[in-house]
Amino acid sequence: MPTIGDQHIVKSYDEELKRLHDSLARMAGLAEAQLHKSVEALEKRDSDLAGQVMNADHEIDEIEHFINEQTVRVLALRAPVADDLRQVISALKVAGDIERIADHAANAAKRSLVLNQMPPVAPMRSLVRMGKLVAELLGEVLNAYLTHDAERALAVRSRDQEVDDLYSSLFREILTYMMEDARTITSCSHLMFIAKNIERVGDHATNIAEQTYFVATGRSLNDQRPKRDTSSFEGAVQE
Amino acid sequence: MPEAPTQNVAAESKMCARDVKVHYGEKLALKGVNLDFRPNEVTALIGPSGCGKSTFLRCLNRMNDTIGVASVTGQVTLDNDELYGANALDPVLLRMRVGMVFQKPNPFPKSIYDNVAFGPRIHGLYRDNDHLDQIVETALEKAGLWHEVKDRLYEKGTGISGGQQQRLCIARAIAVSPEVILMDEPCSALDPIATAKVEELIDELRENFTIVIVTHSMQQAARVSQRTAFFHLGDLVEVGDTEQIFTAPAQQLTQGYITGRFG
Ligand SMILES: Nc1ncnc2c1ncn2[C@@H]1O[C@H](COP(=O)(O)OP(=O)(O)OP(=O)(O)O)[C@@H](O)[C@H]1O
Ligand SMILES: [Mg+2]
């Protein structure tokens, strides 16, 4: 009697899917490290570390390029269906999210170089706290994605609100600080952009959580998350 | 709000099968299948070799009658007419209403014209020769073959290409204006171009007919059908919208089969 196993009858198909999965895992690990390092560079005012982050970005771009090619190849040659199809499609989307996350980390690192030329400003502490929270959520969601763990992904998704709340309060804190001391406007503006970068990473993490749910269950999470980030009502600078 | 008319599920379906079992002698080949076919839809039957797809398809126009050892139990209806039992439709009439196209193109060793005119002739479905000409032309037209054969209608049906022969068999099936067309792997002997033509034809025929197609090609099932039914070892495992079956099937067994992880 035929049974269903994890493996495809055509072994090279399994190898191609595994290669896709391995590339994503590598990309995920790199992006997570990039975000950690850029937050650490901010916290410790470490320009060398920031420089490392900026230099490593191209590696992630290359993996994304490979994943895009590999996805097109599998779609064209294997015509995947069911869970295979969901996995391949999500690989394409998640690789895009990870690439954007790495860009945000590199941008934050670049701005930290500028910040290190100026005296430290107090709101940096809140920014680092937000950065650490987002890095933690990112690590969680990437693990959830790579193990097809829908529950864990949903848990991360529900915590994006914490990020948005931190972002809103950080925004107000920076504004107040700038108003009190006009000399901090330059560094505070950079801080504001970095906060936006980190907040965007949180949004990409949420996308990855949604892709995880789709891969694992075949259903999409399309109910709108409530957005309580109020900074845009305060004349926020958009990047 | 006006009261909605009471919706009878059976009335919405063109054909219904209820607890259909088939024995070949002692062997139970179909273990009680319930499946409905909606009008103007293509339903694809898929599943591993020997799972009972052809056996089930043959229940829908009593072709199993022609196999001595086969015995069918359960209920099959076409609209509200019974196919089996005391009040059963006459099989000859039934096969006019439920036509069949086989795996290997099997034109009669007669002219192209006579192949298509065969059904209308035995059922007396035409008024005069002009009318018969018209029926033949319309059927060939619908089968997408008219332009390729209109100048050679009196050549042998067996003398055209395999893909043309299969479309000739489809023309022969539709010449008697059936309501349902059953197709058992109609493209397995055809090249990709001929296959594409038959698939395009199936899509057009859907406007006027209810179609049930057995296919071993997952891609073909995905391309031509609106509903897909997966059979395994004589059971219907899962039936659903084709899109759902190929993106997120409900059953592990279905998933294993369509993704090629069935070993
Ligand atoms: N005429 C027959 N006499 C005895 N057993 C038969 C006969 N026809 C089919 N069977 C058996 O019934 C079972 C179902 O056969 P069936 O031909 O319906 O399968 P199928 O799904 O159409 O397979 P395939 O994809 O290979 O055409 C098989 O085990 C087959 O051996
Ligand atoms: Mg068969």
CATH topology of domain A4-234: Methane Monooxygenase Hydroxylase; Chain G, domain 1 (1.20.58)
Question: Given this model, what pLDDT does residue B262 score?
Answer: 76
Cβ-based contacts under 8 A for chains A and B: 60
To the nearest 10 degrees (0 to 180), the angle between helices A124-146 and A160-180 is: 160
CB under 5 Å of ion ligand 2: residues: B 54
For residue B61, give the DSSP letter: T
Residue count of chain B: 263
Which of B20, B45, B51, B216 to probe ligand 1 with, by most ligand atoms within 8 A of CB?
Answer: B51
User: Measured between CA atoms, how close is A42 to chain B, in angstroms?
Assistant: 44
Sheet holding B70-78, edge to edge: B27-37, B15-24, B70-78, B81-82
Ligand 1 atom at minimal distance to the Cα of residue B25:
4
From first to last of its 263 residues, chain B has per-residue pLDDT tens of 444 444 444 448 999 999 999 999 999 999 999 999 999 999 999 999 999 999 999 999 999 988 889 999 999 999 989 999 989 999 999 999 999 999 889 999 999 999 999 999 999 999 999 999 999 999 999 888 999 999 999 999 999 998 999 999 999 999 999 999 999 999 988 888 888 988 998 999 999 999 999 999 999 999 999 999 999 999 999 999 999 999 999 999 999 999 998 76
Angle at B231 between CA B229 and CA B233, to 5 degrees: 170
Q: Is any Cβ of chain B less than 8 angstroms from the Cβ of A11? A: no
10-residue block means of pLDDT along chain A (239 residues)?
Answer: 68 91 96 97 97 96 96 92 94 97 98 95 95 97 96 95 94 94 94 96 97 94 57 44
Q: Is any Cβ of chain B less than 8 angstroms from the Cβ of A76? A: no
pLDDT tens-place string over residues B231-254: 999 999 999 999 999 999 999 999
Decide whether any atom of ligand 1 lies within 6 Å of the B50 Cβ: yes
B36 Cα–ligand 1 center, Å? 22
Residue with CA at minimum distance from ligand 1 atom 11: B29
Q: Is any Cβ of chain B less than 8 angstroms from the Cβ of A89? A: no
B218, burial (CB in 10 Å: exposed 0-12, middle 13-18, buried 19+): buried
Question: Given this model, what pLDDT does residue B107 score?
Answer: 94
Please judge whether A4 and B248 are an interchain contact, meaning their C-beta atoms are less than 8 angstroms apart. no
Residue type, B116: V
B53 Cα–ligand 2 center, Å? 6
Question: Given this model, what pLDDT does residue B1 score?
Answer: 40
Please give the structure tokens belonging to residue A44.
């410790």
The H-assigned helical ranges of A45-81 are 47-78
Q: Which residues of A touch B257 (CB under 8 A)?
A: 4
A65 Cα–ligand 1 center, Å? 48
B21 Cα–ligand 1 center, Å? 13
Decide whether any atom of ligand 1 lies within 6 Å of the B67 Cβ: yes
Nearest ligand, CA of residue B23?
A: 1
Decide whether any atom of ligand 1 lies within 6 Å of the B11 Cβ: no
Question: Given this model, what pLDDT does residue B12 score?
Answer: 84
User: Measured between CA atoms, how close is A215 to chain B, in angstroms?
Assistant: 9
Residues 216-235 of B with CB under 8 A from A: 218-219, 222, 232-233
Cα B96 from Cα B160, distance rounded (Å): 25
